[in-house]
């Protein structure tokens, strides 16, 4: 399968939803991401919608308004009932057919404009919810610059463990504590032990941190015992979100050996509300390359398509707004920038490796990419890196300093897919405010 761009990626295409045509819009007609929402102030059940400009096309009302072929009506049925997982389980061909139908319906000059105007909800009038049932969650560790810098802090003599360049490393996280952007994150209590202390203490974390990541939702799954081949992996991927893997850096070093992260990570994970589909991301694919001196992937993690198209050009950013900045009316400040192109493994490799022993993946499973830090020190995707393990405070423009997050800080991730000759598309916001420990 060679993934190609089509008419839905035409950079000149415009929508009758005027706000989608603004150059800065993250949701032009070429994007069409899925999310779940309810109208603000109501207690209605979750509705599935597609972001277009500053609006949402409510798929329940869109189906009622008509103008769809009978095949597309069938595809819209579970979405109109609020069930995105059922749509994720559909074949790649069916998902592509719905994308084309939504594109045609929202295109400037579409005959469906009059009918669908009444199916729009302003994003400002919507409360975003988790986009689907997140059935399971695994976080990988594909940021080699992050792994090396953090490895140096935890193990100065042995920063990158010998398995790193052979195995896509991951740990099994908790799906129960994944929340949508805008949900407050409470500072966790936990066990921590200073290197020179005789015994640990149980107290609120003093080293609360974020991790700049992307998340990938699994589409159709595999049966238990049946692996997913690299050549089929792309068809099993639904789309991407921004993901913040909140981390307690004082709990982590004390608990992580020998079985990996546990309470340092499971108190909360934030995702952005819109799932940007793999179809929308086709123009932003790029070659997966390994430095010549590094081992090449084992055959089960290699494919011709992965070599030419497995990676993605997605610019990533982290922003902070402290309580003092908010009170003074100061704008948020950018902490770092990096690009997902620098990941050591691709989504296809993460998924294939996960299923390679027969583990069954399901529609709605979420994979985290691991922290995406760039090659330069100022490109660290966590405060652990930017503050050199808490030894060197970051100075903000208003004079405040940070080694780790303080209560009242609001942390935001942003992402934008860019490519020559393509209309760039965005991910919306992945943000949360730090709440004091209970
Ligand atoms: Mn992580």
Catalytic residue numbers read: 146
pLDDT at 158 > cutoff 90 = no
pLDDT recorded at residue 191: 98
Q: At 131, list the tokens.
A: 């986009």
- Centroid of ligand 1 to alpha carbon of 218 (angstroms): 18
User: Residue 421 carries which DSSP code?
Assistant: T
pLDDT recorded at residue 1: 53
- Centroid of ligand 1 to alpha carbon of 165 (angstroms): 17
pLDDT recorded at residue 153: 86
pLDDT digits (tens, 9 = 90+) for 307-360: 999 999 999 999 999 999 999 999 999 999 999 999 999 999 999 999 999 999
- Centroid of ligand 1 to alpha carbon of 190 (angstroms): 18
pLDDT at 66 > cutoff 90 = no
Decide if domain 137-435 falls under CATH 3.90.190.20: no
- Centroid of ligand 1 to alpha carbon of 102 (angstroms): 34
User: Does residue 232 contact residue 211 with C-beta atoms inside 8 Å?
Assistant: no
pLDDT at 73 > cutoff 90 = yes
Banded pLDDT at 154 (limits 50, 70, 90): confident
- Domain ranges within the chain, ordered by starting residue: 7-129, 137-435
Per the model's pLDDT, the better-predicted residue between 34 and 4 turns out to be 34
Residues, Cβ < 5 Å to ion ligand 1: 139, 211, 245
CB within 8 Å of 425: residues ≥ 6 apart: 26, 27, 28, 30, 31, 276, 280, 281, 284, 416, 417
Half-sphere exposure of 50 (CA within 13 A, CB side): 29
- Centroid of ligand 1 to alpha carbon of 55 (angstroms): 32
Span 84-105, average pLDDT: 98
- Centroid of ligand 1 to alpha carbon of 394 (angstroms): 21
Average per-residue pLDDT in the chain? 97
pLDDT digits (tens, 9 = 90+) for 6-50: 999 999 999 999 999 999 999 999 999 999 999 999 999 999 999
* CATH number for the domain formed by residue range(s) 7-129: 2.30.30.230
- Centroid of ligand 1 to alpha carbon of 40 (angstroms): 32
pLDDT digits (tens, 9 = 90+) for 265-298: 999 999 999 999 999 999 999 999 999 999 999 9
Q: How many residues does the chain have?
A: 438
pLDDT recorded at residue 2: 67
pLDDT recorded at residue 156: 86
């Amino acid at each position: 399968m060679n993934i190609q761009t089509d008419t839905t990626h035409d950079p000149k295409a415009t929508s009758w939803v005027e706000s989608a045509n603004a150059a800065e819009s993250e949701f032009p007609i070429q994007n069409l991401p899925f999310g779940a929402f309810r109208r603000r102030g109501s207690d209605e059940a979750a509705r599935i919608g597609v972001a277009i400009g500053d609006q949402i096309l409510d798929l329940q009302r869109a189906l009622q308004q008509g103008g769809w072929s009978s095949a597309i009506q069938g595809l819209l049925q579970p979405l109109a009932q609020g069930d995105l997982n059922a749509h994720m389980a559909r074949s790649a061909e069916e998902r592509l057919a719905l994308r084309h139908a939504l594109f045609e319906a929202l295109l400037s000059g579409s005959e469906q404009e009059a009918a669908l105007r009444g199916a729009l909800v302003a994003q400002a009038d919507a409360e975003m919810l988790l986009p689907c049932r997140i059935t399971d969650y695994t976080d990988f560790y594909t940021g080699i610059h992050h792994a090396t810098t953090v490895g140096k802090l935890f193990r100065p003599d042995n920063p990158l463990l010998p398995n790193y360049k052979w195995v896509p490393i991951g740990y099994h996280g908790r799906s129960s504590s994944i929340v949508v952007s805008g949900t407050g994150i409470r500072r966790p209590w936990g066990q921590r032990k200073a290197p020179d202390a005789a015994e640990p203490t149980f107290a609120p974390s003093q080293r609360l941190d974020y991790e700049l990541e992307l998340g990938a939702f699994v589409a159709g799954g595999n049966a238990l015992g049946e692996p997913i081949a690299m050549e089929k992996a792309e068809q099993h991927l639904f789309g991407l979100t921004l993901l913040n893997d909140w981390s307690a850096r004082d709990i982590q070093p004390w608990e992580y050996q020998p079985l990996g992260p546990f309470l340092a990570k499971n108190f909360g994970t934030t995702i952005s509300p819109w799932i940007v589909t793999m179809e929308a991301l086709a123009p932003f694919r790029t070659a997966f390359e390994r430095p010549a001196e590094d081992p090449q992937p084992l055959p089960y993690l290699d494919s011709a398509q992965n070599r030419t198209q497995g990676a993605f050009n997605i610019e990533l950013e982290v922003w902070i707004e402290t309580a003092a900045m908010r009170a003074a009316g100061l704008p948020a400040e950018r902490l770092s920038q990096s690009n997902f192109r620098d990941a050591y493994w691709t989504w296809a490799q993460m998924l294939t490796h996960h299923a390679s022993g027969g583990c069954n993946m399901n529609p709605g499973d979420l994979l985290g990419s691991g922290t995406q830090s760039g090659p330069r020190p100022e490109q660290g995707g966590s405060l652990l890196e930017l503050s050199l393990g808490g030894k060197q405070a970051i100075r903000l423009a208003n004079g405040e300093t940070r080694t780790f997050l303080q209560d009242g800080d609001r942390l935001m991730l942003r992402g934008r897919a860019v490519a020559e000759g393509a209309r760039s598309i965005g991910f919306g916001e992945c943000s949360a405010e730090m709440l004091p420990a209970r």
